[in-house]
Structure 1
Amino acid sequence: MTTINTAWAIPQWDDRRFAAALFDLDGVLTPTAEVHMKAWRRMFTDYFTAHGITPEYSDDDYFAYVDGKPRYDGVRACLASRGVVLPEGTPDDPAGAETICGVGNTKNDAFEAILREEGVEAYRGSVALIDHLESLGVAMAVVSSSRNAPAVLEAAGLSHRFEVVVDGNVVASEGISGKPAPDMFSLAARRLGVADEDSVVVEDALSGVQAGAAGDFGLVVGVDRGAGVDALIDNGAQIVVSDLEELIAQ
């Protein structure tokens, strides 16, 4: 591994040098977490209603079982919370099939429809931090459980800003574990040529900060987009901000 000798001046951490930033995408760089929440709500509400499953789906379920996880893991965990077990199926299952993959693919169709209808624009503060880190020569990667990450980055005009993207497609092709395991972040750091301990994990999901805490990363930053400051810290974040611009030393 090579360590880039570049200071990322984070308030209260000015004496620490970090060579890379490993960003989650949805809810960290773009407000697509809201799109995912809408898609999960639409899919699970329809599914629970059609099958008489109670209690009804809520946003609490999103944060507890779905947020930040690979799609099929989220389906499996949320259904299990209602005592529902389905066969796994395969990623090629059509949307609507009575399998974990079929239900997950129904959610993906909903996400793509909402993304087309509403579009996506990157958070202003997140773009400011990307600009700042780029000026310092800090390596950057996107680490997202979503298989839609390339489409979201393209829609938000961010594709050219990241030389490395480790997403749900990479998890499947490489056979690595998704969040809350640290494997995705470690792979991103390795592809950047940076050691884990010289990298900063930036996450808004509980499963994401858990992944950061489970590895040997230099710092885990939580971004509070709804999960809650205490919950992010309890699950592994060392500092929490509400906007990434707060990480730019004044």
Structure 2
Amino acid sequence: MYRAYGRWAEEFGVDARELPRYIGMPSESISALLVPGRSQYAADRIEQLEVEDTDGVQAMPGAAEAFAALPEGRTAIATSCTAPLLEARMRVAELPLPPVVVTRGDVVNGKPAPDSFLLAAERLGTTPERTLVVEDAPAGVAAARAGGFPVLGVLSSQTPEGLRADHHVKDLSRVRWEVGDEVIRARLVED
């Protein structure tokens, strides 16, 4: 992702140092803010660069174990990327796609608006207060909070102060998933 966005920034004359604050937002939103007047072309180009460059994409530590531990009908992915990009990344990372997937094409307003999380919860048949959002981007945490979801922040590229989630873990290997009939508990493991 960072390599593709770096190439994109160079092509469009954008200062790459500006990009980290937009992580987690849809590429259309980033393009509209940073490349006004050519935003659709810029969004299409970053999509192309990201789909073509999945070299080095790998699952976060603990992600495969989380997918294995969590029941299929009780998990979802709500992402700011497109379906083709999500599928490419999941395939390269060797992670399964859950039955409930919400991509930027499914909602009008991308993150930091809560629309994608609200739609995922609706499709799962649950409510925000009963749904844990796991996020590693500030825009995603803001979206979850705006929707009334509790948030577990994964510190893959941010500090706790930058994410502002309810709880933080270094990565998903620090979480033990306890599955019950009505509730799934995320138990955080100390370092």
Same fold (TM over 0.5): yes
SS in 2 for 1:159: coil
Structure 1 residues 154 and 169, CA gap change in structure 2 (3 angstroms): farther
**Is the alpha carbon distance of 1:108 and 1:138 closer, same or farther for their aligned partners in structure 2, counting shifts above 3 Å?**
closer
Partner of 1:164: 100
Task: Supply the AA of the counterpart residue of 2:23.
Answer: D
Question: Per the alignment, do residues 101 and 207 of structure 1 end up closer, same or farther by CA in structure 2, a change over 3 Å counting?
Answer: same
Q: Which runs of 5+ in 2 are unaligned?
A: 177-186
- The one-letter amino acid paired with 2:157 is G
* Partner SS, residue 181 of structure 1: coil
Distance 2:32 2:2 in 1: 16
Using the size of structure 2 for normalisation, the TM-score is 0.84
Whether the aligned pair in 2 keeps the contact of 1:37 and 1:62 (CA below 8 Å) is no
Aligned to 2:24: 68
Secondary structure of residue in 2 paired with 1:165 = strand
> Radius of gyration: which is bigger?
1
Q: Give the residue type in structure 1 aligned to 2:102.
A: V
TM-score when normalising by structure 1: 0.65
**Which of 182, 202, 205 is residue 114 of structure 2 equivalent to?**
182
C-alpha displacement of 1:120: 3.1
How far is the alpha carbon of 1:138 from its aligned partner? 7.0
Q: Is the 8 A contact 2:156 2:170 kept in 1?
A: yes
Identical counterparts, % of pairs:
29
Q: Distance in 2 between matches of 1:212 and 1:57?
A: 28
Q: Please state how far the C-alpha of 1:227 moved relative to its aligned partner.
A: 2.0
Inter-partner Cα distance in structure 2 for 1:227 and 1:216? 22
Runs of 4+ in 1 over 6 A off after TM superposition: none
| 1:109-124 superposed matches below 5 A | 109-115=48-54, 118=55, 120-124=57-61
Please, which of 154, 157, 170 is the counterpart of residue 242 of structure 1?
170
8 Å contact from structure 1 (residues 63, 205) kept in 2: no
Give the number of aligned pairs.
176
Please give the alpha-carbon distance, in whole angstroms, between the structure 2 residues aligned to 1:138 and 1:150. 19
Provide the alpha-carbon RMSD of the alignment: 1.9
Residue 130 (structure 1) shift: 2.2
